[in-house]
A and B are shown apart, each in its own frame.
Chain A
Amino acid sequence: MKNKIFVTISFVLFAFCFAVFYLGLQKPNIYTPKLDKQIELPNFAGNDFFSGEKVISDNLLKKNSYYIINIWASWCIPCRAEHSFLMALKNKNFNLLGINYKDNNSNAQSFLNELGNPYSKILSDKNGVTSIELGAYGVPETFIVSKEKKIIKKIIGPIDNENFNEILELIK
């Protein structure tokens, strides 16, 4: 009798572990952050790309306007791919803020000369601190910031056609 209980319990335990691990296998093991609630835009600081002046987010962001914050670098190949989308977003009814991540100024400058400058303002982020303060996961990354200064969308990786239409839908 005792033996029977022991065998049943071990079998149930084994089946349970098997089910957990089997289901775990199906899950992708790369974490992608969910953005189910709107996060308040954190405070951040950086230096102006052109003048080198220190800029604080409170002074930089105007009230009552949408912002798109794009983290880019001249050494980042996917940034090159998404640049045409950013150029198409230029001069719309929002501000495009660029964050130049761990880049060499002259390389970044020639990147902009070659592909155009869609940004109304660029902050240079030499040691990557600004990007961490913003909560970025990699380069390129794009944040859509609402008028209430909440992040309403995070695009990790280059912007594609689908994202582009979504941005236009979000900011009307």
Chain B
Amino acid sequence: MKKLILFITFFIFLSNNYLLAVDKPSELENKIFKNLRCLICQGQSIYDSQSDFAESMKIVVRKNLEAGMSEKDIYQFMKKNYGEWVLYNPEINKRTYILWSLPIILFVIGGAIIIRKLGVFKR
């Protein structure tokens, strides 16, 4: 029993130590990581990925934030190097009007159909 308690204390102490040693990314960093696509595993954001290039991208994001770049500047920087594809949130421009407006249009149409079917406005 004594041994077990000693082991558990030691274990908790060590894991605590580890958790303190890892520098956690800030909220802003996480937000940016989640919006950048991993170059190797293309369905993932770099937040989810642990590939070498994703890790490097995280370092670059941190470095640029420290250098005083804003979130937008970083997206611009990545876009310049990798194209718009690297961002998960596509920008609103001529090519993405439909993409952004379609859900809203569908929502309105769907809503209209439901309201008609339910006969909310019928007396």
Contacts and interface: CB of A to CB of B under 8 A. Distances in A.
Interface of A: 29-31, 33, 39, 42, 101-102, 127-129, 131-138
Contact of A128 (B55, B80, B82): B55
A42 B81 contact: yes
B85 A31 contact: yes
Interface of B: 39-40, 42, 52-53, 55-57, 59-60, 63, 80-83, 85
Contact of A129 (B40, B59, B83): B59
Contacts, number: 45
Contacts of B52: 101-102, 128
Interface centre among A101, A135, A138 (most CB of B within 10 A): A135
Given A42-B80, A129-B63, A137-B39, A33 B85 contact: yes
B59 A128 contact: yes
Contacts of A128: 52-53, 55-56, 59
Chain A CB within 10 Å — which of B39, B40, B42, B85 has the most?
B39
**Taking chain B's interface residues, is the majority helix, strand, or loop, or is none over half, making it mixed?**
helix
Contacts of A137: 39, 53, 82
Contacts of A127: 56, 59
Contacts of A136: 53
Nearest to B39: A137
Nearest to B51: A138
Contacts of B80: 39, 42, 135
Contacts of B53: 128, 131-132, 136-138
Contacts of A129: 56, 59-60, 63
CB-based closest 7 A-B pairs: A128-B56, A135-B81, A132-B60, A132-B56, A137-B39, A127-B59, A129-B60
